[in-house]
Amino acid sequence: MERWNLAGTTGMKLSELISALSHALDMTEGQPPGHCMRCCWIGMHLADQLGLDDAARWELYYTLLLKDLGCSSNAARICQLYGTDDLGFKRDFKWVNGSLTQVIRFLLQHTGRDAGVAERFKRLLNIARNGESIATELIATRCERGASIARDLGFSESVAAGIHSLDEHWSGTGQPEQRSGEAIPLYSRVALLAQVVEVFHAAAGPDAALDEARARSGHWFDPALVKALEQAAESADFWSMLASPELPERVLALSPAGHEIEVNEDYLDRVAAAFGQVVDAKSPYTAGHSERVALYTDLIAEQLDIEPQRRRWLRRGALLHDIGKLGVSNSILDKPGKLDADEWQQVQNHARFTEEILSRIGVFSELAQVAGAHHERLDGKGYPKQLKAEQITRETRIITTADIFDAITAERPYRGAIPVAQALEMMAENLHTAIDADCFAALKAAIQELDVAEVNAGAGL
């Protein structure tokens, strides 16, 4: 079996790691790949016009890349309240300028589109009565979670505050605290303007982006920042670089030197755990899933006498195995009934997304293959590549076994949690076809003294 290389982890720059993972955050907002990086390009050019020092530029840089860190946490609630696809809802809401006409049009287009007349009316009535409190709830959930995870990643309180106040408006009409003017952190003000400019530029070009920024100046946006945007836009490559294949390299070059967090083994563990939280926050049915799969993966690996360094590496893969689910709508992930063919294909896409995201990270390139294959089967009937048994590594087989065990013993949208004894019987029926026999035996040995119910409740993790 091939041995995976862990060398060189301390040589990776933080900007390379975070910019790569920002593609997962693009998915949570229904945005095209590179959205956060393009926002970073725009925002850092505003920093040039503002004359920010290197310390402030460093904090702004990571605020821009991580602005959507908490966005997965309100996805399920959006589906529940509006009866719609959370990804399309979030994507299209970025076009809404807050005017009553646009808000009403948006709600009519996105609320209960596939529901009957009575159900749709019920949802719209609830929104009409409680719209402000609903908006505050959704944005507060996202902002608080994003700020919390930023702190977990070791970023300063200024970065956390920048993420927390992303949706505040200059005039005091934003959320979640209705801050106004300079009471809104500068990084938040820059990030919001960069976000809107990026969305309008991607869809309609530079003139539309500038027109929208000017139209919202003094209401959504700090007028001084809009002037800074106009000045930055005079640069020859300001707009053209947003559509250039050179953008990732140019964004990496914008990261200020001298303020780096060291990307060592401990920090890679920290990043994997933090983004595991981002994934698990997407659905109430996946709360704690990545962490439990990581626990079971480590226990199985220990039983199989895998060396501690390899176990540590594999645990990261377990924490991130479902990161591709950020690109799948909760209207599908949380659906209580049977999925149709198109929905099932979208679910299967998550494994491919996982490999694509992790492959962007140099030190995770091999781990991407292991984690991305966790739905492959020994009989070749898995997905996304229909790998045969001899093509599936032992590391993948371990994560697969852990994932299946947690999927069965945890609650799901369509059923309650299944007792451990019954779960093991179900898994035994799939030995040699979906589940590796050695990994299954190791799982059984590992959980003998483990209270799975307590693990599911969050104890001991």
The catalytic site residues sit at 325
User: Which of 260, 46, 298, 240 has its CA nearest to residue 154?
Assistant: 260
d(CA 288, CA 176): 26
Provide CB contacts within 8 A for 188, sequence distance 6+.
63, 161, 162, 163, 164, 165, 166, 168
The crossing angle, in degrees rounded to 10, of helices 54-65 and 157-164 is 40
* DSSP, residue by residue, 394-448: HHHHHHHHHHHHHHHHS-BTTB-PPPHHHHHHHHHTTBTTTB-HHHHHHHHHHTT
Nearest to 259 by CA among 155, 158, 148: 155
CA distance 406 to 292: 7
> Running DSSP on this structure, what letter comes out for residue 218?
T
> What's at 117, amino acid-wise?
V
Residue with tokens 């050019």: 45
What b/e string do you get for 280-308 counting C-beta neighbours within 10 Å, with b at 16 or more?
bbbbebbbbbbbbbbbbbbbbbebbebee
Q: Which residues pair with 235 in a beta bridge?
A: none
User: Could you count the other beta carbons within 10 Å of the beta carbon of residue 184?
Assistant: 23
Widest CA span in the chain: 67
- Whose tokens are 């091939």? That residue is 2
How many angstroms separate the CA atoms of 188 and 168, rounded? 8
- Decide if 35 contacts 196 (C-beta within 8 A): no
Cβ neighbours of residue 237 under 8 Å, at least 6 residues apart?
Answer: 244
Cα distance between residue 459 and residue 461, in whole Å: 6
